[in-house]
Amino acid sequence: MNDGKIEEQELEKEQEKISFWAQIKEDFCVPRNNDPALDNNLELFFNYPGVWAIINHRIANKLYYKGWKKLSRVINGISSFLTKTDIHPACTIGRRVFIDHAIGVVIGATAIVEDDVLIYQGVTLGGVSLDKGKRHPTVKSNTVIGSGAKVLGNITIGRNSKVGANSVVVCDVPDNSTAVGVPAKIIRRDNKNCKMAHGDLPDINKEMFKYLLERIHVVEVALKEEDGIDVSVKDKKLEEEYNNFIEAMNSIKKTDS
């Protein structure tokens, strides 16, 4: 039996400790702990599609594993239309999972999402193969996945971990870690008690461009010292040619109009 199946069965056993309706009651209570914008319970019915996406999934999931697969897919389709969230009925969702804003979230058939996971809009828990076996991610408990992040393949996002917004994760993320970038890199460990603050995450692209600019400067200095070539002169000439090209293109557009 593969690891994904074992994890799924363990989570299902844990969920059996409370009733189906108790899980749904928890789902309604979760936004109060995760969204300071919630003012009253009435908003849950109109402004929180993520809550309804989870509840609809629980119904579809129960039917799916009772053998009512076609009916579960119908419920899944209606839920996707209403909530703009696509959660396959076969995937396993733990307790107190919250999808904030919800729009554009996709969770594949063999994905496993454990308890107390926070998922923001535009997240994909997707596959990278057409295998029938475990091909989607396992997200461990107390994890936060930032908006627009893509977590792909049969990988594991460890407990208490954070995935930065718009990151693309294709490798395992250890427990208590933060992963950001494309492809995602581990930039912080032992952040068990660290809240997700995207403004505090380092900008990997900024650091990369900074390195490239410094590297170019080193190469320019080396060329100048070795051959006596003033690279800045050639650079200025190239810039003039580029500007002439842009002006020519603009004049063509004016003529066409």
Q: How many domains does the chain have?
A: 2
Interval 64-69 mean pLDDT: 92
Mean pLDDT of the chain: 81
* Domain span including residue 41: 3-199
Q: Mark whether 233 and 164 lie in a shared domain.
A: no
pLDDT reported for residue 1: 47
pLDDT digits (tens, 9 = 90+) for 155-176: 999 999 999 888 999 999 999 9
Same domain (yes/no): 75, 124: yes
- Distance, in Å, from the CA atom of 46 to the CA atom of 25, rounded to the nearest integer, reads 17
Predicted local confidence at residue 181, as pLDDT? 84
Same structural domain for residues 82 and 189? yes
Residue 230: is its pLDDT beyond 60?
yes
Residues 130 and 230 in one domain: no
- Show the CA angle centred on residue 16, arms to residues 15 and 19, nearest 5°: 95
Measured from the Cβ of residue 103, the count of other Cβ atoms closer than 10 Å reads 14
CATH number of the domain that residue 127 is part of: 2.160.10.10
What is the token pair recorded at 56?
């609809």
Kindly state the percentage of the chain with pLDDT values over 90. Answer: 40
Tens digits of per-residue pLDDT, 109-146? 999 999 999 999 999 999 988 888 899 999 999 999 99
Do 77 and 106 lie in one domain? The reply is yes
Considering 199, 218, 233, which residue would you say is the last residue of a domain? Answer: 199
181 and 99, same domain (yes or no): yes
State how far the alpha carbon of 199 is from the alpha carbons of 50, 146, 196, 220, in Å.
Answer: 24, 12, 9, 34
- Written as six digits, the tokens of 220 are 């320019």
Mean pLDDT of 64-87: 93
Q: Containing H/E element for 248?
A: helix 231-256
